[in-house]
Structure 1
Amino acid sequence: MNNYTLYVTKPEASVSVNSTMLQTLETCVLAINFLVGVPTHSYVIWLIVTGRGILSEFFFLNVSVCELGNCLNCLFFVLNMWTSRLFVIECFLKGLVITGRPLFQCLMCVERYLAVVHPVTFLKYKPLRYRVICSAAAWIICLSSCLCCMFIVVLSVLYVFMWFLSMQFLVFLSINLLCCVAVLRALKQSGPGERGRERGEENHMKRRAFHLILITTLNMITTYVPYILSGIFVIMTTRVVYGLWVTGLICYVLAGFVQPVVFLHRAGQFFCLSS
């Protein structure tokens, strides 16, 4: 049982046929995440850096960089099935999986919350230097989480790891949902009375923003709730159900492609969705 981590590591030698199938499915999902994720997130980073959108998409840029680290973690996990030399690096990169994505998504949600609900405060802290300061602090937290994951997983302290994972996901998800719900409520309210074309354009922009925040909310629920429930189950029963963790892994990996797809669609680069 102590061999299980966020990406559930190798089961014992005497595994059942069902466990072997789950392990094969897990390996395929991680391989797909690496093969598809690296070019996707690299392209997103290139578009942000070269498209002069680094100010408005600075936090999303950090999310994409963090996702590249997650993709490398998937590669090291698969390679670790044949060699244990990369085990420590894999354990270190788990901090990006546990803390990196939810933390930067949290910063994005807080930024959107300020922009919609408190626009005056948002304009005050809109300059890039404030985003850089927040991102630097976030990366320090991520590196600290990586070190904690490395020691916890290497020492095989499963109970502590589950607390570490579940509490972080729960805290970040709660903050994200509070911000998203507040933004959705604000967007549903009618703005100042305007007529004609300007009112139509305003409603169209509000509908697009509403749909974007709604997709983000559902995406975060899909990403973190399965792992939170699985982690709480392990904490309360001290048993790891392999199928639950593979299900959480699939949700986590697939949900990670939603935001890049939405970004590419907004940028007119996702050809099958672009009008």
Structure 2
Amino acid sequence: MDSDLINSETSNFSLPQNVTVLGWRPPLWYHYEECAVAPYAFIFYFIVKVFNLALGFPANTLVMWHIATSKSESSTSDVFIFNLAALDTFFCLMTPIELTNRLYLDYWGIWHLQHFAYGVKDTTPLFLTCICLDRYLAVVHPIVFTNIRDNRMRIGISALVWAMILAYAITESILGVLSVTKVFSSLILSSFFIMVFCNISIIWVLRKSVAGKEVMNPVKKKAFKMVVILLAIIVVNYLPPVALMPFASTYTFVQMHCQISVSVFSIMDLSSTIDPILYISKTDRMSCSCLKRTANKPVNINV
């Protein structure tokens, strides 16, 4: 999780770490003195942070605005997508505060707020899992899905997920990273495999539905492409922590805290921008197709 980047000394409630008897000194931009030999992952980390603020924040805001103002019948997954966008918006907005504290202030109070933000981001796979499960039921078990289309159920599930997220983030903020390490490992592993299973199942059903046919239905073809893209994004964003973090005890300090954890969680953070852009591109294509269908309809002109 991002909070692996935080020095355990931030639990000190006296003075910022960069204030000593010799006066103020700027904190290390690569965080640990040991990382001086391999600081390049932190450059990638800062680039991702700025990228998320510049693109992720407006993209997530646009997603929330689109869902909130959409007058057409929305997807049942939009409830979860809205909540996911809200989480990512908060995380993106933390970037100026984090960079200021990490590169200049190094103040313990702000570190606790950063712990909280990292905890929020660490648990975003919960809403991604809800989205994947919702789509899985819609495609693979349509009869069951028709009986649970009521969005009140999804709002209730979202409230439960929020409670879990806040509990996790507050615990990490107060007690530190080590208090939630096992929970995070279990969360990321289970979420990853559930999401992969759901998307592969959807792909299988969509492919099976056109077996023996030369051309796939345009609607199913779009859905198929979207699921394939989503699966690729899930694998790219979440396979690194799933593959690397279980072996954390075998890495050296420099490998773990200066290279692997920084790079892995920077890649995870990219989902704050990739997810809303994917949603926006999907809605734009739907809007274009609707406009084309409208344009092709004959228009009656009464003189």
> What band does the TM-score fall into relative to the shorter chain?
0.7 to 0.9
Partners in 1 of 2:127 and 2:2 — Cα distance?
22
Name the stretch that deviates more: 67-76 or 137-146.
Answer: 67-76
CA distance in 1, matches of 2:62, 2:156: 25
Aligned residue type for 1:130: M
The C-alpha deviation readout for 1:199-244, integer Å capped at 9, x for no partner, is 96x7111111111111111111111111223321214447425222
Partner of 2:266: 250
Cα drift, residue 161 of structure 1: 4.3
Q: Which amino acid aligns with 2:126?
A: L
- Residue range with higher mean Cα deviation, 88-97 or 10-19: 10-19
Matches of 1:237 and 1:29, distance apart in 2 = 24
Instruction: Look up the match of 1:70.
Output: 91
User: Hey, what does 1:8 align to over in structure 2?
Assistant: 5
Could you say which structure has the larger radius of gyration? Answer: 2
Whole-angstrom distance in 1 between the partners of 2:46 and 2:284: 32
How far has the Cα of 1:269 moved from its partner? 8.0
Q: 1:222 to 1:6 in 2, by over 3 A?
A: farther
RMSD between aligned residues: 3.0
Change (3 A) 1:25 1:227: same
Preserved CA contact (<8 Å) 1:58 1:131: yes
Equivalent residues in 2 for 1:15-26, closer than 5 Å: 15-16=35-36, 18-19=38-39, 21-26=40-45
Q: Residue 79 of structure 1 corresponds to which residue in structure 2?
A: 100
The equivalent position to 1:213 in structure 2, one of 227, 238, 243, is: 227
Q: Offset at 1:270?
A: 11
Of residues 138, 142, 145 in structure 1, which corresponds to 2:168? Answer: 145
| Distance (whole Å) between structure 2 residues aligned to residue 36 and residue 192 of structure 1 | 40
Whether the aligned pair in 2 keeps the contact of 1:166 and 1:232 (CA below 8 Å) is yes
Q: Percent identity?
A: 21
Map Cα deviations across residues 52-96 of structure 1 (whole Å, 9 max, x no partner). Answer: 355531111111011112213433321221221311111112221
Does residue 95 (structure 1) correspond to residue 119 (structure 2)? The answer is yes
Q: Name which of 165, 179, 184 aligns with 1:165.
A: 184
**Equivalence for 2:145:** 122
Distance in 1, matches of 2:286 and 2:56, equals 15
- How many residues are treated as equivalent by the alignment? 259
| Offset from partner CA, 1:168-210 (integer Å, 9 cap, x none) | 110111111111111111111126999xxxx96x711111111
Please state how far the C-alpha of 1:143 moved relative to its aligned partner: 0.8
1:135-179 Cα offsets, whole Å, 9 max, x none, are 1111111111112221342xx63xx54433222110111111111
Higher relative contact order (CA 8 A, sep 6+): 2
What amino acid is the match of 1:76?
A: I
TM-score (norm 1): 0.83
The aligned amino acid for 1:22 is A
Q: Which residue in the other structure is 1:186 paired with?
A: 205
Distance 2:282 2:32 in 1: 46
Q: Is the 8 A contact 2:3 2:118 kept in 1?
A: yes
User: What are the ranges of 5 or more consecutive residues in structure 1 without an aligned counterpart?
Assistant: none
Q: CA 1:253–1:34 in 2, change beyond 3 Å: closer, same or farther?
A: same
1:203 aligns with 2:217: yes
Q: What runs of 5+ residues in structure 2 fail to find an aligned partner? A: 7-29, 293-303
1:36-60 deviations in whole A, cap 9, x for unaligned?
Answer: 2111110111111111355531111
Q: Deviations over 1:108-141 (max 9, x none)?
A: 1111111011111111110111111111111111
From the superposition, tell whether residues 27 and 262 of structure 1 become closer, same or farther in structure 2 (CA, over 3 Å): closer
Asked if the contact 1:264/1:270 (under 8 Å) is kept, the reply is no
Asked whether the equivalents of residues 76 and 87 of structure 1 are also in contact (C-alpha less than 8 Å), the reply is: no
Matched, 1:29 2:45: no
| Residue in structure 1 matched with residue 236 of structure 2 by the alignment | 222
